[in-house]
């Protein structure tokens, strides 16, 4: 199955259903050999079930592609190491990691439990760290041994992380951290031939259907902008050789629309050249806010 990822080996986490499954399928269509990682289980992230990942593998093989299923828990550091090793053992190499696995534990901040906070950070942020950390070590060792590396990390942020979303303080905090993680990975790992980018997708999944039922409703005629397969083309391109000159970027993607998110920038300063007196600060801040662009509104507030 020749394509822009011909010969590459790709791990996609959370690939048993939804957006992740579509990533895996499109990578296979574009010639990649795919490790379909998924714990399975319920929409809230509880339990485990190998069936979804195995079904995606069967679909890929029916297309003539190569894939294997994997049920490691990406939040477990040792398990993530085994996941990377499985890809290398099965296919002889690893070229791309797509960190897609995620969970929701939505709650208004004043009612949020420590467990809901920890669950979100563990899956949505720690899971990105564990898999990427072991992949990065593999690529670094190859680069130091003199082997050319053209590796890719594609992380999954969210509009909730970029703009904020009411009822998602835990999820938004994790996804904002993913965006920061991405630009740091890009800076640190570029010397080894690794790029790192992130997406903030909007599409119909088991997670979003429960939160945004009206927005995510299926359409029967015309282009279905919320279909999960719409996200895959950008991710596959970012995971290919063709994206070598793009790194440290966060892309918003919805339907047929792609944009580059513009993150934190240094705003207009004021400098007294001496220590501020607290009574002087209020007027100065008011002037700075007057000069600064308005922030994007938090989702759920307009």
- Closest by CA to 230, choosing from 19, 25, 63, is 19
Q: Is 158 an annotated catalytic residue? A: yes
Residue 156, SS3?
Answer: strand
pLDDT tens string for the chain (302 positions)? 579 999 999 999 999 999 999 999 999 999 999 999 999 865 555 666 789 999 999 999 999 999 999 999 999 999 999 999 999 999 999 999 999 999 999 999 999 999 999 999 999 999 999 999 999 999 999 999 999 999 999 999 999 999 999 999 999 999 999 999 999 999 999 999 999 999 999 998 766 555 555 655 666 778 899 899 999 999 999 999 999 999 999 999 999 999 999 989 999 999 999 999 999 999 999 999 999 999 899 998 87
Among candidate residues 132, 138, 157, 171, the one labeled active-site is 171
From 22, 206, 214, 226, select the one nearest 104 (Cα to Cα). Answer: 206
pLDDT in the model for residue 208: 59
Cα angle 249, 255, 256 (rounded to 5 degrees) comes to 75
Predicted pLDDT at 204: 82
CB 92 within 8 A of CB 57: no
Active site residue 171: yes
Q: Is 175 annotated as catalytic?
A: yes
| Pick from 130, 13, 156: nearest CA to 71 | 13
Q: Are 201 and 254 in contact (CB under 8 A)?
A: yes
pLDDT value of residue 267: 93
Catalytic residue among 175, 202, 240, 243: 175
Catalytic residue among 158, 202, 240, 243: 158
What is the per-residue pLDDT for 2? Answer: 78
**Where would I find the beta strands (DSSP E) of 169-263?**
194-202, 250-254, 257-260
Instruction: Report CA torsion sign: 16, 79, 174, 149.
Output: negative
Which helix (H) or strand (E) segment holds residue 155: the answer is strand 151-156
Class of domain 9-260: alpha beta
Token look-up 């009612």 returns 111
């Amino acid at each position: 199955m020749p394509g822009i990822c011909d010969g590459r080996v790709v791990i996609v986490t959370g690939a048993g259903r939804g957006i992740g499954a579509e990533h895996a399928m499109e990578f296979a269509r574009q010639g990649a050999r795919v490790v379909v990682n998924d714990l399975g289980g319920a929409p809230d992230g509880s339990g485990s079930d190998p069936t979804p990942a195995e079904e995606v593998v069967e679909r890929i093989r029916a297309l003539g592609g190569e894939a294997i299923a994997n049920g490691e828990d990406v939040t477990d550091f040792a398990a993530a190491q085994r996941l990377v090793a499985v890809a290398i053992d099965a296919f002889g190499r690893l070229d791309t990691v797509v960190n897609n696995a995620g969970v929701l534990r939505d709650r208004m901040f004043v009612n949020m439990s420590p467990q809901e906070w920890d669950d979100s950070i563990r899956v949505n942020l720690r899971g990105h760290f564990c898999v990427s950390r072991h992949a990065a070590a593999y690529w670094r060792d190859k680069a130091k041994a003199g082997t050319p590396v053209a590796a890719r990390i594609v992380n999954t942020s969210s509009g909730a992380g970029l703009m904020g979303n009411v009822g998602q303080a835990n999820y938004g905090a994790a996804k904002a951290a993913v965006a920061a993680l991405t630009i740091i990975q890009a800076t640190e790992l570029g010397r080894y031939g690794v790029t790192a980018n992130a997406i903030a997708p909007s599409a119909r999944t088991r997670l979003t259907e429960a939160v945004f039922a009206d927005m995510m409703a299926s359409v029967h005629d015309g282009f279905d902008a919320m279909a999960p397969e719409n996200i895959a083309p950008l991710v596959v391109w970012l995971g290919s050789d063709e994206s070598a000159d793009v790194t440290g970027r966060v892309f918003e993607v919805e339907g047929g629309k792609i944009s580059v998110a513009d993150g934190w920038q240094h705003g207009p300063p004021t400098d007294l050249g001496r220590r501020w007196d607290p009574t002087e600060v209020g007027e100065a801040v008011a002037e700075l806010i007057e000069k600064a662009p308005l922030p994007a509104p938090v989702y759920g507030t307009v």
